[in-house]
Amino acid sequence: MSNAMYNKMWHQTQEALNSLLDKESQKLVEQEKNPVYIFQMLATFYIKYVQIFRNLENVYDQIVHPQKRLLIRKILDGTMGRILELKNDMVELELSEFHYFDDILQDLKLAPQQLDIPIPKYFLKEKIEVIRERKKILAQILADSGLDATSMKLAIKSMPFEEAIKLIQIAERARQGRLRALFMKQIYLQEFRAKQARLLGEKVADAGAAALRIQKVWRGFCQSKRTEREREEEMIFLGMNPPPLFDQVSATIRQAEKVNLLRSAVQLRHEEGYREALVTIKNDLQQTEGPDIKESLRDQIRQWFIECRNLTGSFPEFPNVEDGGSAMIFSNKTPEQVIEDILASQEEEEKNKKKGKKAKKEEKKKVVKEKPKVKEEEEEWKMSRSAFLPSMKEGSDVYKDTWMNKDESQNFPQDYDEELIKKEKRKEVEAEIRVQVDELMRQELKNLKLAVNKEMELPVRAGKKGKKNKGKKGKRGKRGKKDKDLTADRTIESLFKELVEEGLLIQARKVNLSDYIGEYSYLGTTLRHVSIEPMPSLLDVRQLITLYGILPLGSAAVHEKAPLVKSLLLAGPSGVGKKMLVHTICTETGANLFNLSAANIAGKYPGKNGLQMMLHMVFKVARQLQPSVVWIEDTEKTFYKKVPNNEKMNDPKRLKKQLPKILKLLKPDDRILIVGTTQRPFDAELQSFCRAYQKIILVPRPDYASRYVLWKQIIQRNGGVLTKALNISCLAKVTDGFTQGNIVKVVKGVLTDRRIRQQIQKPLTPAEFIPLIAGMNPVYKEEEECFKNWYAKTPLGRKRVLASTVGGRGKETEKGKKRGKKERKKNL
């Protein structure tokens, strides 16, 4: 796609966003009582914002104009944050982390795949050099300390000479035995053919009959092949089978990838030119327009002095630097307007003093009258205020004023716009000059007062300032005691090295979120209508990881304002990919991975002071090198109800009291996420467990649709070829209850190098996978029910159960659905 196409795409997306912002601003005022209608409204906004987010992310990644990119980035971050806010509202309303939008997607004519939230590429692009450098340092430390996995060689057991000779002899005799058996088979076949020839040799074959038989067989073979080919073409036409060379990367895609690389190079070049232009243009403005700006500011302030003197009889007080100086007075106003404001404010103050007493009495009466109405108001739901809508509206206004109707026919290479830079930098130059002018004018005002009014400055202000400063010093002193730095004399590099050597800072595996394979749940809404709570699908889990883990950690602007998620718990049976998801968060955001699992910290930094020092070091490095992920594997051990005898020596509950304290200290500007994984959550104390983890995600075993996709993709990724002989549907049905980990092990066990080479002559069949599956333990329904029952006891689960037991919501559901459909039809 060309620059013009991406510009067009941006304009269309911006129009959709503007209309959505207008609709949302209308809904902010409205109050509703029907929870079903409210959810459908929130879900519709959520889905539309996701579509806008997908388009904006694509535009920001590909567009090359540096000033456009700055604006798009601002709107992109705002859209991202708004999606997180709507998700939080839906969770509070439905009392569930998982939502199903089947009916809404059907009304909007969207596929479930269009709900997939993309991960912005700028998360890694903007700090790729930092990530590479950090990986090099980490690998170097591991190699120097002998902890590197690649440098560590497996210990090979030595074998006696006689035993080695015996082993070689056994292998050689086995080889000779196989050759002898093959030779004997050939002799037997030759003798059998000779015997058959002697028996049939007496009959004289008719040449015509023989030719007819050969023709019959050949024509039948040709017809069967033709029928098979036509059937395959029909299936491809109907979309039931993929076309030939479907899995191969086409030349068009390769060319598009090359263009993307060239486009990213152009982006870097344009951004460098833009940064240089910011400096040069500012310097030029200071030299050319600076003197004129200075003179006009001085004249403006002098005129204000004279006018105030004429009206009030004395010179005005000049505002302090902290208050903004003369900028606070004028702010795009003439001196006459400023004086009018002063007189108007004086009149208002006098009126307010008179009305003050009456207003207080009336307020008291109103409070008494409004008390019984509070209950009615609490029942009505109103959309919460957004921290991102103002910035999005501001970005949309800038788009309308600057870019909507801008003629760019002369800017084909899409380089920076010099006039826009001048407009921006002119304000900065004026602000800098204003500071200098204010200093001069303060002195001039002082001289005027001495000469005309003979007024001396009163020393009261200095005293007041002194008092303020004393108060501030006292407060700073108290803060200093709270935030005591235990490693003030050490550098971050030395702390980083120590944590790596102790095994507390580990290297994350390179795993992308797209590697977590699964399928959507298409019956979620239907099951909920029948009061059956469906198990979430794997893609629902993947979406939550994106919303709660990747997006907030990837963007500092989003993390500061979005609903804060400090800790995350992944609970599920063994083999469902919990550990993989932790490594995925680190890969997609370039985050550091700290391992504070009970098994990993056992015996390290002993004692209370040692534990305090360890946590201080971990979180100090995590803050300095954010984003960071603190992983606690088998986190139920930290919250054991009763510690098993064989684990008492390791003291697994060391972190139990410290975790809540750590969570309190984490602020919105700390991009640190604590992630716990557990396969036995029922062994932990529920109250302290749920207090430590803000969000709890239940990771299920894969359903039929997810297993079908898993088998298909994992076989292909490991070198397997899908043919008609391999019935994937059969494998997906047979492996009900088995996890992703089981399926990966089975595929790797079957697809050895030798078996991959044999696929041309001997295609894969389902029977080859069954023996390995039979030797593994599945996740039984009883175990799955245990997880569901445990989740029902968590705070959100309890609220959900209580809400579902309350009757009389059937009519509300039907009314809400009808209203929601009407609204969507209007929008369409």
**Mean pLDDT confidence for 288-296:** 87
pLDDT category at 267 given cuts 50, 70, 90 is confident
What is d(CA 622, CA 596) in angstroms, rounded to the nearest whole number? 13
What percent of the chain has pLDDT above 90? 27
Question: Element (H or E) spanning 224, and its range?
Answer: helix 207-238
Say what the pLDDT of residue 339 is. 59
pLDDT reported for residue 375: 38
- What span, in angstroms and rounded, lies between the C-alpha atoms of 384 and 386? 6
What per-residue confidence (pLDDT) applies to 546? 93
Sign of CA dihedral 126, 129, 135, 138: negative
Q: How confident is the model at residue 51 (pLDDT cuts 50, 70, 90)?
A: very high
Highest mean pLDDT among 103-107, 199-203, 588-592: 588-592
Question: What mean pLDDT is reported for the chain?
Answer: 82
Spatial strand order of the sheet with 695-698 comes to: 505-506, 592-595, 628-633, 672-678, 567-571, 695-698
Q: Which two tokens stand for residue 639?
A: 């919250």
pTM for the model stands at 0.80
Query: With bands split at pLDDT 50, 70 and 90, how would you rate the model's confidence at 363?
Result: low
CA angle 366, 369, 372 (to 5 degrees): 135
List helix spans (H) across 520-639.
524-529, 538-545, 551-554, 556-561, 578-589, 598-601, 607-624
Q: What single DSSP character describes residue 548?
A: I
For residue range 692-750, list pLDDT tens digits in order.
899 999 999 999 999 999 999 999 999 888 888 889 999 999 999 899 999 999 999 99
Which residues lie below 8 Å from residue 35, measured CB to CB, with a gap of 6+? 93, 381, 809, 812, 816
Say if residue 225's pLDDT is above 80: yes
* Structural tokens at position 81: 């944050």
336 compared with 121, residue with greater pLDDT = 121
The answer to whether 551 and 53 have CB atoms below 8 angstroms apart is no
Q: What's the N-to-C CA distance of the chain in angstroms?
A: 28
Give the helix/strand (H/E) hosting 631.
strand 628-633
Q: How far apart are CA 755 and CA 167, in angstroms?
A: 25
Assign 345 a pLDDT band (cuts: 50, 70, 90).
Answer: low
- Other C-beta atoms closer than 10 Å to the C-beta of 366 total 10
**Beta partners for residue 640, in sequence order:** 684
Neighbours of 518 (CB within 10 A): 22
Compute CA distances 377 → 213, 370, 382, 449, 814, whole Å.
92, 10, 10, 58, 24
Please check the confidence at residue 622 and state whether its pLDDT lies above 80.
yes
Looking at residue 261, its amino acid is L
Write out pLDDT tens, residues 402-425: 888 888 888 888 888 888 888 888
Number of residues assigned to the chain:
828
Q: Looking at residues 271-293, what average pLDDT do you find?
A: 89
> Mean pLDDT, to the nearest integer, of 655-679?
90
Q: State the CB neighbour count (10 A cutoff) for residue 479.
A: 8
User: Which residues are within 8 A (CB) of 198 and not within 5 positions of it... i.e. 6 or more apart?
Assistant: none
Is the pLDDT confidence value at 106 over 50?
A: yes
Residue 473 has pLDDT above 50, yes or no: no
Residues 6+ apart with CB under 8 A from 745: 772, 776
633 and 595 Cβ atoms separated by less than 8 Å:
yes
Per-residue pLDDT band for 483 (boundaries 50, 70, 90) equals low
pLDDT higher than 80, residue 384: no
Average pLDDT over residues 198-222: 81
Element (H, E) at 81: helix 66-94
Q: Is residue 593 a contact partner of residue 496, using CB atoms and an 8 Å limit? A: no
Task: Calculate mean pLDDT across residues 264-268.
Answer: 88
- Residue 465: what pLDDT? 42
| Whole-number CA gyration radius for the chain | 37
Q: Please enumerate in sequence order all residues whose Cβ is within 8 A of that of 677, keeping only pairs 6 or more positions apart, or say none.
A: 569, 570, 571, 578, 579, 582, 631, 632, 633, 634, 635
List the structure tokens of 635. 């986190």
Dihedral Cα 646, 652, 653, 658, nearest 10 deg? 170
Give percent of the chain with pLDDT exceeding 70. 84
pLDDT tens for residues 486-519? 788 888 888 888 888 888 898 889 999 999 998 8
Q: How many CB atoms lie within 10 A of CB 597?
A: 19
User: Residue 808 — very low, low, confident or very high, per pLDDT cuts 50/70/90?
Assistant: very low
463 alpha-carbon distance from chain centroid:
52
In angstroms, rounded to a whole number, what is the distance separating the alpha carbons of residues 719 and 372?
Answer: 72
Q: pLDDT confidence of 201, banded at 50, 70, 90?
A: low
- Going by their DSSP bridges, the two strands 592-595 and 505-506 should be labelled as antiparallel
Asked if 631 contacts 594 with a C-beta cutoff of 8 angstroms, the reply is yes
Q: In this predicted structure, what is the pLDDT of residue 475?
A: 43
Closest CA to 52 of 1, 102, 16: 16
Residue 455 backbone zone (phi > 0: left; psi -120 to 50: alpha; other: beta):
beta
Most confident of 22-36, 147-161, 811-825: 22-36
pLDDT given at position 424: 87
- CA–CA dist 36, 33 (Å, integer): 9
For position 472, what pLDDT does the model report?
43
Give residues with Cβ within 8 angstroms of 678, minimum separation 6.
Answer: 569, 570, 571, 578, 634, 635, 636, 684
Would you state the structure tokens that stand for residue 637, as one six-digit string?
């051990």
pLDDT category at 156 given cuts 50, 70, 90 is low
Distance, in Å, from the CA atom of 87 to the CA atom of 82, rounded to the nearest integer, reads 8
Q: How far apart are CA 714 and CA 490, in angstroms?
A: 47
* Mean pLDDT, rounded, for 244-268: 82
Question: Across the chain, which distance is largest between two alpha carbons, in Å?
Answer: 147
Single-letter amino acid, residue 489: D
Q: Is the link from the previous residue into 627 a cis peptide, with omega within 30 of 0?
A: yes
Of the listed ranges 311-320, 330-339, 525-534, the least confidently predicted one is 330-339
112 DSSP assignment:
G
| Coil, helix or strand at residue 652 | coil
